[in-house]
Amino acid sequence: MTYDRRCLLSAAYTDTKLWEEREKDHQNLSLMAALMDRIYDRNFPVSSLTISRFVDNISSREEVDQAEYYLYKFRHSPNCWYLRDWTVHSWVRQCLRYGARDKALHTLKNKVQYGMFPDDFTFNLLIDSFIKNEDFKGACSVVEEVMLQESFNLLTTQILSMYALSSYLATKPELSVSEQRTLGAALLICGLKQDNSTGLSAQLLGCALLGKVEMAAGIHAVFRGMPLMWTPGYLGRALAIMERVAATPGDSKLSKDAVDYLEGLLQDLSSALDSKSSSGEDELGGEEEGKKEEDEDDQAEREKLPLYASRFKELSGQLQSGGKVDPSPLQVLVSSLVQQGLASAEGPDMEQYQRKVGEWEAERQQLIRREKEMRERAEEERQARQAAKAAAQ
């Protein structure tokens, strides 16, 4: 089965014309690199305007690598807090322009080392670039960072993220525990932004994946380092979503593949629990948490598996009888959401981006004026010192 690939941002959205119309500040990167090296050698800080100029003047793939080095140096300097939002945006655009999408992703995944905290529009450009190349795993890596920064604010970001997640899962990848956790969290948090069949199905699948991790490694393995609830019971939350959909009148449904995944997961976990009971070995896996109360909480949750399995059968029957199970897989539901909402959602983003570029440019020009004033003042002070020294002689 093939799916409509309109789940891509329009040419108008990704157009670079507005960005390139900014006033140019042409620089020789070799001279700039030598200047920054001298500044760092003297243990002085490089200004945010200097690193911004360097990134803006990238003109080749090799210079992308050079800029990465100086972004790292800047992040580990006294001025690290002053990396400008427009510099982050420019960096991502330059990476995309010169075929260095992997470099943009590397700095994003290592955001603490590079200071890469993009705005929503910039996130969209990067996700879209991976999707257009059908690199859904790479797109999901970007979505993971959106999730960690809790930046599912724009409808476009939600749709692109859903498309990336559902398309990647449709390839039936072998997921590690870590990948189950991040994909589950992204599906859940992004799904909460959509009050429709697509969002509810994403929430269900997300809770199922997180519940699998919880059963295998304990609740602390789920929420540590994630913007998630620390209260045990993610499989219970998945069943609560089923119950809510079954009881709510209207058109909301759950995708069959999400319901089937939860069913298969409960069967596998129940079989593993039965094997453990008969053999005395913990086949659910996971590491011991080291704290008795944590182990007790995790064990109490595992003991609820028979109840969860029984409740699932009841709710599944209610969903089926009420016509609340959509035979279309999640990926198709997302494609439908794309057709209905992506194009119309782009307009407000583009208007906001235009305003933001204007604000960035005004701030940049202010910094340029301030830099000029400081240089003039420094030159005046230098001349005054020379004059005083000449007079003293």
Q: Hey, what are 13's tokens? A: 């959205």
Asked whether residue 110 carries a pLDDT value surpassing 70, the answer given is yes
C-alpha–C-alpha distance, residues 315 and 243, integer Å: 6
Q: Name residue 277's beta-bridge partners.
A: none
Q: Name residue 325's beta-bridge partners.
A: 254
Asked whether residue 289 carries a pLDDT value surpassing 80, the answer given is no
Sequence-ordered list of residues with C-beta below 8 angstroms from that of 117, at least 6 positions apart, any chain: 88, 111, 149
Asked whether residue 291 carries a pLDDT value surpassing 50, the answer given is no
Sequence-ordered list of residues with C-beta below 8 angstroms from that of 146, at least 6 positions apart, any chain: 123, 127, 152, 157, 161, 186
Q: What is the predicted pLDDT for the residue at 299? A: 87
Q: Which secondary-structure segment (H or E) carries 102?
A: helix 101-109
C-alpha–C-alpha distance, residues 331 and 162, integer Å: 8
SS3 content of the chain, % helix, strand, coil (to 5): 75, 0, 25
CB 127 within 8 Å of CB 142:
yes
Task: Specify the pairing of strand 254-255 against strand 325-326.
Answer: parallel
- Using one digit for the tens of pLDDT, what is the confidence trace for 183-214? 999 999 999 999 999 999 999 999 999 999 99
Q: What is the predicted pLDDT for the residue at 1? A: 40
Q: What is the predicted pLDDT for the residue at 277? A: 57
Q: Which of 210, 226, 228 is nearest to 301 (CA)?
A: 210
- Using one digit for the tens of pLDDT, what is the confidence trace for 210-264? 999 999 888 888 888 888 888 899 999 999 999 999 999 888 999 999 999 999 9
Q: Which secondary-structure segment (H or E) carries 172?
A: none
CB 193 within 8 Å of CB 248:
no
Q: What is the predicted pLDDT for the residue at 276? A: 65
Q: Could you count the other beta carbons within 10 Å of the beta carbon of residue 114?
A: 20
Helices 85-97 + 330-392 axis angle, to 10: 120
